[in-house]
A and B are shown apart, each in its own frame.
Chain A
């Protein structure tokens, strides 16, 4: 596709439920990032992949959050035993590589935990 695609666009989960959020980056983009954007706040970094390698996961808020990118393209962010404070928009961004500093963002997945 032409841009970064995220699915689902909206997700309502009951507290304690596991969720999986998908990101399809721009084809050929080496770098992939996940961000969490709480209501009224700027996006905050969660984790970074270079191809299939997860090089930085320092922003993941707890061990309930897990991300993978097994074949270096599509990525999944999984949240186990969701809690109300996990409610946010989860953004995925991809970047072509070393000499390109522009990150392209998807429209995000709005997660609401009830």
Chain B
């Protein structure tokens, strides 16, 4: 079955540091890939997505590139802020048409940014 593996946390960085959160996946078909973020006390929010190989998703300074050859979708940001502190989830969906398939999530990476 499908699975998502992401780096264990917590990840603690200083403000303005470079961020990478690794994510690799296993899927039977050609999934769409997502990063969701969960800020303290809030629900899951879509951060960015990519629906096919070599696509780059970007939002709020975060980027991730769909790498089919390495089955990866690593999340990066050039300069993190304290407000980026949250739990980040990598996820996939086999159904790029937005139909029946739910999301398969990784376990989440807790990011802590210190001033």
Contact = CB atoms under 8 A, between A and B. Distances in A.
Interface of A: 3-4, 31, 33, 35, 40-45, 48, 50, 55-56, 59, 91, 93, 95-108
B65 interface: no
Contacts, number: 72
Given A44-B105, A45-B104, A98-B97, 17 more contacts: A31-B100, A35-B102, A41-B107, A42-B4, A42-B106, A42-B107, A50-B99, A91-B43, A96-B98, A97-B99, A98-B99, A99-B97, A99-B98, A100-B98, A102-B49, A105-B45, A106-B43
Interface residues of B, number: 26
A108 B99 contact: no
A4 B46 CA distance: 14
